[in-house]
Amino acid sequence: MSITKIAKDLGVHPSTVSRALSGKPGVSEDLRNKIIQYAEKIGYYPDARASSLRKKGKTGTLGIIIPDIGNPFFATVIKAIEDVLYSHNYNFFLCVSDEDPEKEIFHLKSLISHRVDGIIAAPTLDNKTKNFYSKLYSSKKTIVFFDRFFPTLDIPSIVTNNEQGIKKLINHIYKMGHKTLGIISLSPESITGKIRLETALNYAKKLKITVQPEWIQGFDSTEESGYLSMKKILKQKRRPSVVLILNDLTSLGALRAISELKANVPEEISLVAFDDTYWNQIFNPPITCVKQDPKEMGILAAKNLINILNKKNVLKKQILLDTKLIIRQSVKKLI
């Protein structure tokens, strides 16, 4: 199944076959058709490796790195990226980092070995990964970050305005009269979680909303952590009037805990969440939240990468996406 074999079988030269199959001029229509038909008949598909190797050009492949496909947020981003890439004829390797710097670097090396044209990544924020991305970038590899980025690296990125989102939520509960706040946080390694938590604490302080240390729970960005954290908060004798949950999977767990303990929302406890996923609308009552736009994030990341590859101008290096407050019925009006 190679151009050489076809050439031999048809008694012509390999270069003629190459020209015929790749639509280049310089072959008579008769011969071209004969070659194309024969190639189809024997089920020939050109070897992309050999072709890209010889052309010294692009491979038409990209690498995408995400921490977790199980998270609907990332699944949605990937879906949007896929859409753009397909319409531009790119294939991509999907790499899962599990937030593990070693695993991420392993994948990066392998992507480089496969000579991908570019990399779209939600990077694990760690010194090792930072150094590696930095090296790659200075050796002219095309990289676009989404969801997270390294503040000290000048690599294009598409990130949600997390501070804005948190402030919108806290403003809302403030207006509803809440003065005590609990928080279900994320993995301590998550920069996203760190930013959201810090913004929440600072802004709550500014508005004189009390956050007792024992009201801050969460050890991880998983459903399990959300579940256990919410249970811990609910079992305290002095509870906050409202709990802020910092992402989608943890809020799923928190909601499960609430269902299980049959806590009444918003009468006994109010709830607000970062991220608007599937379940926020069908919970009883529907959850007030701040919505990121993972679809837009994916589209922008992919388009930016492609623009850079095509040497087109990229308008902004760092894109900050707005969040949207969606008011539902999970916050009790106290005033």
Partner DNA sequence: CTGAAAGCGCTAACAC
Partner DNA sequence: GTGTTAGCGCTTTCAG
Give the residue, chosen from 51, 76, 180, 202, that forms a contact with DNA under the rule CB under 7 A.
51
Minimal CA–CA distance to 184: which of 138, 250, 234?
250
The binder of 333, among DNA, a second copy, none, by C-beta within 5 to 8 A per type, is none
Q: In what order do the strands lie in the sheet with 288-291?
A: 216-217, 181-184, 242-245, 270-274, 288-291, 324-326
Give the residue, chosen from 38, 46, 76, 164, that forms a contact with DNA under the rule CB under 7 A.
46
CB 320 within 8 A of CB 161: yes
Contacts of residue 223, Cβ cutoff 8 Å, sequence gap at least 6: 249, 250, 252, 253, 256
State which residue, 60 or 72, has the beta carbon closest to DNA. 60
Q: Is 56 in the site for DNA (CB under 7 A)?
A: yes
Residues of this chain that interact with a second copy (CB under 8 A) are 43, 45-50, 52-53, 59, 61, 64, 68-70, 72, 75-76, 78-79, 82, 86, 91-96, 103, 107, 109-115, 135, 139, 252, 255-256, 258-259, 278-279, 281-284, 286
Q: Is 61 in the site for DNA (CB under 7 A)?
A: no
Minimum CB separation of residue 60 from DNA in Å reads 12
Site string for DNA, 211-230 (x = CB under 7 A): --------------------
Neighbours of 177 (CB within 10 A): 13
The binder of 22, among DNA, a second copy, none, by C-beta within 5 to 8 A per type, is DNA
Length of the chain: 335
Residue 133, CA distances (Å) to 36, 59, 103, 158 in order: 43, 20, 14, 16
Chain-centroid distance of CA 208 in Å reads: 34
Q: Is 140 in the site for DNA (CB under 7 A)?
A: no
Q: Is 47 in the site for DNA (CB under 7 A)?
A: yes
Phi-psi group of 205: left, alpha or beta (phi > 0 → left; psi -120 to 50 → alpha; rest → beta): alpha
The binder of 202, among a second copy, DNA, none, by C-beta within 5 to 8 A per type, is none
